[in-house]
């Protein structure tokens, strides 16, 4: 039975009961009257007269009925309904006041509802998984350790295996990852695309308790290199690419140039934030390479780890259990020394970096609500003192103060309920608009919507508002001096000293809160402007970026990769409208690749003290394309090749840090960790080459927009086969609007390799804007809240002042 | 509030103590079930017409005590005539309440009597 039906039945039952009791009482009284009349007849009165006499003697039957009804009924409910009716009537009589009050409240409550619904979706709503409270993420925590991974918090595969084997608190545990890969759908039309591909064993889906719509999960066997050419696709991809065709199982897609057989279609049940990096629509098994299971791989941290705790095991128990294991591992393996473990609820990672932003916004909308409430209180104060005569008349006619207060409160309640409803509608509309926005930066916002929790919140806010801010005006408005208020010709009653003081207090509060909002918002706006407006250290205009990935199947060795990149860049440089082009991994605002170094004169014994720098590979056109100034020495030259001695360009910050007093030109340094520390090399990431410094170049942003430029060292990929990997970016300096040459560049790439997509094509300006997207979004919201708060405060203060003027 | 006024119209109407009517009604029902008219009559007769129960007080009192569970009501046909009346009867809770009110009343009466003892000089 729905709540509404239930309520209706209860009301009907209550009304029915009341009617029954009324009828019974009437019968009871009737019987009594008849007996009385009978007695009088017996004593000799004529029957008609006897009846009248009996009725006279009995007194007022209606009064009796009312008294009895009051004994039985929940009288306050009826009285409340009457108050509400009266309030509605009195609000209809002053539509201007009602409209302003309702709009004010709607703004305050609407903003709160919208932000609360985001908090609800990201922090309160239960996860859409079975027994989600048993789902946890597991991280490695390291103190003072220099880490070379993008995600410094993930354990290594070997650690995960040992955790899983030794733990008594964990039911199932899985390490997984997401990679950008070149995907082409051989059987359906369309260009190759770079897509996020989840590398997951079947246990990943089992832990989340997600079963395929059609097909099967990966087998244990398929986690082995060579047998891993099977794929699961998302239902969305199934619909978009295969029109939901059930015969999709068994078809092939090409991932990084290799065919994969589709074995399953998975429901769209995994939110983007569960996966590291981007949202995957394709999953393949996680082929653990043999060296992942050799002890040398124990230091290879950075995997996302998901686990399901055994039923009944608490988070604290699991943490204690794994801590013991981590301590044991640290004792057994030198590379695990100082590495601890953290068990965190999966739900906690949902809100991610948005948590402080949500708190900030919640604070802002609370201020707006307060301003709205102060306005409301002011309006009510003014209205109540303007109504003193009406209230005085009602008091004179016998209404108690309690009754008057109740009446005024009913009006406030009605106002806030209507305001709440309007605000709720506004929030709903706003959220719909938000959901349509392409929020690549904020994937979590996709799930924001209205549910019962949000509804309850809105209702509560409305109720508390009316109680908190209706009560004081109601009490002050009913503190009546009847004689003064009713005195004929008495000018409209001037409000008392105390209500004046309350009013000025309200205005002061309002101003203070409004200023808080404005200052906060302008600070944020200012920091965004500074973030975006700062000099990146390069020529920023007309610079386009595209990403490519050279899969190892086709591009088997560094020489092939170098040739491909050089060919591609040469072809692009030949295009009309292109001034320069370079294939590189280095460009602002983020470099994201660090190398340990051995610099003569910097002797180290501990891993924490090893010199390090931002590192990247490029070709000879790097400086010219980006427009970075050469400060000393020489640029890369065409004569620097695979067979000539390796050379490097260092940034000014690098020189300051490591060659403060000497001339670095011509000095030799080693790129890669000092051999004495025995740190395992990582494929395509860890270099191990001696280079000669040939030039010092200008600093540029390489550690994000917020940080100052870090030491940077840039080398030629052709001279560094160890780090000449598949992921490369091309930067293109154009004569005019960069996106105009985009399709030409694509066709050049297709001419070289029809399976290779050009991904994430953006200008550097767009890249910067994207980086600040989250902050922009917050700032825009906060600024609009501040403007709304200001508007409210202006309206409120104007209202108060004009009321005071009118009174004088 | 239930009030009992002296039957004859005396100029100084006295309002009797709150709860007294309840006690009188409960006491009346101790003899057996009765309807409203019988209760009023019984109180009037046993007090020699000194106390006349006002109907405006009687019925609210009856219903209040019914709600409190001291008495229960049932429609029954009267023995002497062919007509239904709402008969009230005492519940165990009502009997306990009667005992409580009686003892309180006795205390009160004794206290008042002490105050009203003829003064030595009278």
Do B51 and B6 touch, CB atoms closer than 8 A?
yes
Specify if A777 maps to a domain. no
Per-residue pLDDT at A143: 61
Closest chain A residue by Cα to residue B65: A71
For A169-232, give the secondary structure using H, E and C: CEEEEEEEEEEEEEEECCCCCCCCEEEEEEECCHHHHHHHCCCCCEECCCCCHHHECCCCCEEE
B54 touches chain A (CB under 8 A): yes
Q: How far apart are CA B109 and CA B107, in angstroms?
A: 6
CATH code for the part of the protein at B17-112: 1.10.10.10
Cβ of B37 and A72 within 8 Å?
Answer: no
Per-residue pLDDT at A570: 96
User: Smallest Cα–Cα separation from B26: which of B92, B108, B106, B107?
Assistant: B92
A497/A382 same-domain check: yes
A100/A155 same-domain check: no
Share of residues in chain B with pLDDT > 90 (%): 11
Final residue of a structural domain among A39, A58, A73: A73
Share of residues in chain B with pLDDT > 70 (%): 81
Mean pLDDT of chain B: 79
Q: How far apart are CA A514 and CA A519, in angstroms?
A: 9
Specify if A87 maps to a domain. no
Nearest Cα of chain A lies from the Cα of B103 at a distance, in angstroms, of 27
Cβ of A28 and B86 within 8 Å?
Answer: yes
DSSP, res A333: -
DSSP helix/strand/coil, A171: strand
A439/A423 same-domain check: yes
A197 forms bridges with which residues in the sheet?
A179, A282
Q: How far apart are CA A424 and CA A102, in angstroms?
A: 12
Residue with tokens 């598949």: A726
Q: What is the pTM of this model?
A: 0.69
A55 touches chain B (CB under 8 A): no
Nearest Cα of chain A lies from the Cα of B55 at a distance, in angstroms, of 6
DSSP, res A680: P
A8 touches chain B (CB under 8 A): no
Q: Which two tokens stand for residue A654?
A: 């690098």
Helices A47-58 and A3-42, axial angle in degrees (round to 10): 130
DSSP helix/strand/coil, A197: strand
A607/A744 same-domain check: yes
A288/A369 same-domain check: no
A707/A605 same-domain check: yes
Specify if A327 maps to a domain. yes
Q: What is the mean pLDDT of each run of 10 residues along chain A (808 residues)?
A: 66 71 82 83 82 78 76 66 86 86 90 89 86 91 50 75 90 90 74 88 92 92 86 92 89 89 92 81 83 70 89 93 91 81 87 82 90 86 79 74 82 90 89 68 67 87 84 77 59 58 82 89 88 89 94 91 96 95 94 89 77 94 96 94 94 94 93 81 83 96 90 95 93 94 93 90 89 81 87 82 71
> How many Cα atoms within 13 Å fall on the side-chain side of residue A635?
16
Cα R_g (chain A), whole angstroms: 38
Q: How far apart are CA A597 and CA A578, in angstroms?
A: 36
A419/A508 same-domain check: yes
Specify if A761 maps to a domain. no
Q: Which two tokens stand for residue A605?
A: 């014994």
Paired sense of beta strands A252-255 and A230-234, if any: unpaired
Specify if A707 maps to a domain. yes
Q: How far apart are CA B64 and CA B21, in angstroms?
A: 12
Quote the number of domains for chain A.
4
User: Which chain A residues are closer than 8 Å to B40 by Cβ?
Assistant: 32
Exposed, middle or buried, A601 (CB in 10 Å: 0-12/13-18/19+)?
exposed
Per-residue pLDDT at A484: 65
**Reported ipTM exceeds the 0.90 cut:** no
A138 forms bridges with which residues in the sheet?
A343
Exposed, middle or buried, A306 (CB in 10 Å: 0-12/13-18/19+)?
buried
Specify if A765 maps to a domain. no
pLDDT at B3 over 60: no
User: Which chain A residues are closer than 8 Å to B67 by Cβ?
Assistant: 71-72
A114/A187 same-domain check: no
Exposed, middle or buried, B99 (CB in 10 Å: 0-12/13-18/19+)?
exposed
Test mutation, A24, A31, A54, chain B, max B CBs within 10 A: A31
What is the dihedral sign for C-alpha A781, A783, A788, A792? positive
B47-73 pLDDT, tens digit each: 887 777 777 788 888 888 888 889 998
Which one of B54, B55, B60 has the shortest CB-CB distance to A71?
Answer: B60
- Total residue length of chain B: 122
Final residue of a structural domain among A346, A376, A407: A346
Q: Look up the domain containing A331 and give its range.
A: 132-346
From its phi and psi, is residue A708 left (phi > 0), alpha (psi between -120 and 50) or beta? beta
Q: Which two tokens stand for residue A189?
A: 């039309």
Mean pLDDT of B13-42: 80
User: Which chain B residues are closer than 8 Å to A29 by Cβ?
Assistant: 55, 59
Q: Where are the domains of chain B?
A: 17-112
Test mutation, A18, A63, A71, chain B, max B CBs within 10 A: A71
Cβ of B59 and A35 within 8 Å?
Answer: no
Do A268 and A235 touch, CB atoms closer than 8 A?
yes
User: Which chain B residues are closer than 8 Å to A75 by Cβ?
Assistant: none
Per-residue pLDDT at B2: 43
Specify if A448 maps to a domain. yes
Per-residue pLDDT at A157: 83
Chain-centre distance for alpha carbon A191: 32
Q: Transcribe A116-164 into DSSP letters.
A: HHHHIIIIISPPSSTTGGGEEEEEEEESS----SSSTTPPPHHHHHHHH
A113/A140 same-domain check: no
B42 touches chain A (CB under 8 A): no
Q: Which two tokens stand for residue A382?
A: 């003014």
A320/A357 same-domain check: no
Residues 6+ apart with CB under 8 A from A36: A54, A57, A58, B37
Do A391 and A477 touch, CB atoms closer than 8 A?
yes
Specify if A542 maps to a domain. no
A592/A635 same-domain check: yes
Which one of B36, B75, B84 has the shortest CB-CB distance to A32?
Answer: B36
Give the phi and the psi of residue A66 in degrees, each rounded to 5.
-65, -45
Q: Which two tokens stand for residue A457?
A: 């919140």
A423/A377 same-domain check: yes
Q: How far apart are the first and last CA of chain B?
A: 37
User: Which chain A residues are closer than 8 Å to B86 by Cβ?
Assistant: 24, 27-28, 31
């Amino acid at each position: 039975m729905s709540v509404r039906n239930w309520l209706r039945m209860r009301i009907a039952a209550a009304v029915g009961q009341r009617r029954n009791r009324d009828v019974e009482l009437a019968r009871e009284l009737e019987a009594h009257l008849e007996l009385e009349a009978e007695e009088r007849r017996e004593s000799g009165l004529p029957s008609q007269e006897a009846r009248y006499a009996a009725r006279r003697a009995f007194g007022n039957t209606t009064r009796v009925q009312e008294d009895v009804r009051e004994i039985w009924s929940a009288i306050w409910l009826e009285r409340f309904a009457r108050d509400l009716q009266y309030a509605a009537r009195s609000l209809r009589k002053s539509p201007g006041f009602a409209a302003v009050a309702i709009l004010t409240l709607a703004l305050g409550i609407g903003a709160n509802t919208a932000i609360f619904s985001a908090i609800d979706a990201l922090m309160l709503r239960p996860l859409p998984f079975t027994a989600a409270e048993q789902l946890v993420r597991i991280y490695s925590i390291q103190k003072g350790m220099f880490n070379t991974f993008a995600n410094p918090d993930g354990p290594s595969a070997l650690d995960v295996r040992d955790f899983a084997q030794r733990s008594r608190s964990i039911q199932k545990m899985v390490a997984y990852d997401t990679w950008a890969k070149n995907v082409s759908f051989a059987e359906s039309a369309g260009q190759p695309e770079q897509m996020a591909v989840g590398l997951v064993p079947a246990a990943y889906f089992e832990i989340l308790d997600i079963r395929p719509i059609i097909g099967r999960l990966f087998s244990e066997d398929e986690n082995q290199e060579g047998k891993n050419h099977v794929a699961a696709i998302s239902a969305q991809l199934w619909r978009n690419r295969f029109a939901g065709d059930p015969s999709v199982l068994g078809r092939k897609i090409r991932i990084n140039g290799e065919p994969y057989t589709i074995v399953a279609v998975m429901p769209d049940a995994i939110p983007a934030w569960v996966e590291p990096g981007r949202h995957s629509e394709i999953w393949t098994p996680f082929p653990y390479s043999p060296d992942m299971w050799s002890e040398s791989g124990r230091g290879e941290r950075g995997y996302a780890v998901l686990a399901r705790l055994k039923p009944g095991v608490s988070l604290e128990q699991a943490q204690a259990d794994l801590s013991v294991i981590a301590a044991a591992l640290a004792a057994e393996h030198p590379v695990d020394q100082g590495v601890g473990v953290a068990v965190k609820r999966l739900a906690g990672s949902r809100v991610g970096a948005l948590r402080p932003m949500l708190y900030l916004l919640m604070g802002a909308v609370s201020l707006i609500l307060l301003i709205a409430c102060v306005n409301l209180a002011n309006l009510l104060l003014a209205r109540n003192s303007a109504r003193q005569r009406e209230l005085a008349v009602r008091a004179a006619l016998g209404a108690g103060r309690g009754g008057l207060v109740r009446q005024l409160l009913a009006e406030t309640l009605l106002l806030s309920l209507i305001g709440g409803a309007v605000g709720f509608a506004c929030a709903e509309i706003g959220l719909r608009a938000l959901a349509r926005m392409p929020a690549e930066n904020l994937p979590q916002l996709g799930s924001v919507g209205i549910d019962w929790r949000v509804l309850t919140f809105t209702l509560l806010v409305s109720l508390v508002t009316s109680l908190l801010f209706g009560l004081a005006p109601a009490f002050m408005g009913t503190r009546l001096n009847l004689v003064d208020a009713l005195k004929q010709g008495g000018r409209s009653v001037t409000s008392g000293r105390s209500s004046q003081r309350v009013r000025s207090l309200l205005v002061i509060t309002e101003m203070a809160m409004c200023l808080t909002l404005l200052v906060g918002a302008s600070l944020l706006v200012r920091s965004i402007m500074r973030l975006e407006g700062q000099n990146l250290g390069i020529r920023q205009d007309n610079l386009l970026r595209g990403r490519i990935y050279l899969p190892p199947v086709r591009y088997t060795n560094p020489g092939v990769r170098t040739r491909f990149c050089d060919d591609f860049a040469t072809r692009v440089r030949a295009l009309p409208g292109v001034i320069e082009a370079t294939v590189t991994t280095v460009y602002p605002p983020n470099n994201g690749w660090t190398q340990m170094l051995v610099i003569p004169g910097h002797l180290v014994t501990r891993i924490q003290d090893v010199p390090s720098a931002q590192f990247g590979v490029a070709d000879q056109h790097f400086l010219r394309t980006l427009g970075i100034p050469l400060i000393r020495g020489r640029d890369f030259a065409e004569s620097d090749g695979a067979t000539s001695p390796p050379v490097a360009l260092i940034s000014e910050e690098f020189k300051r840090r490591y060659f403060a007093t000497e001339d670095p030109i011509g000095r030799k340094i080693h790129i890669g960790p000092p051999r004495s520390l025995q740190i395992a090399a990582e494929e395509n990431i860890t270099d191990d080459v001696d280079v000669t410094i040939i030039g010092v170049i200008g600093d540029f942003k390489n550690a994000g927009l917020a940080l100052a430029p870090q030491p940077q060292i840039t080398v030629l990929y052709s001279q560094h086969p160890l780090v000449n990997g598949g992921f490369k970016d091309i930067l293109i300096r154009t004569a005019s609007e960069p996106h105009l040459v985009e399709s030409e560049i694509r066709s050049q790439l297709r001419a070289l390799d029809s399976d290779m997509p050009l991904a994430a094509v953006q200008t550097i300006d767009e890249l910067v804007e994207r980086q600040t997207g989250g902050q922009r979004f917050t700032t825009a919201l906060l600024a609009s809240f501040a403007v709304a708060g200001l508007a409210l405060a202006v309206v409120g203060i104007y209202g108060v002042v004009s009321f005071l003027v009118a009174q004088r | 509030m239930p009030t009992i006024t002296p039957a004859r119209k005396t100029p100084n109407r006295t309002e009797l103590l709150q709860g007294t009517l309840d006690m009188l009604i409960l006491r009346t029902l101790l003899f057996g079930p009765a309807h409203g008219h019988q209760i009023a009559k019984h109180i009037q007769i046993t007090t020699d017409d000194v106390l006349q129960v006002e109907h405006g007080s009687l019925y609210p009192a009856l219903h209040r005590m019914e709600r409190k569970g001291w008495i229960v009501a049932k429609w029954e046909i009267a023995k002497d005539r062919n007509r239904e009346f709402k008969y009230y009867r005492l519940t165990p809770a009502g009997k306990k309440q009667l005992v409580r009110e009686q003892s309180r009343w006795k205390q009160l009466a004794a206290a008042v009597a002490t105050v009203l003892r003829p003064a030595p000089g009278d």
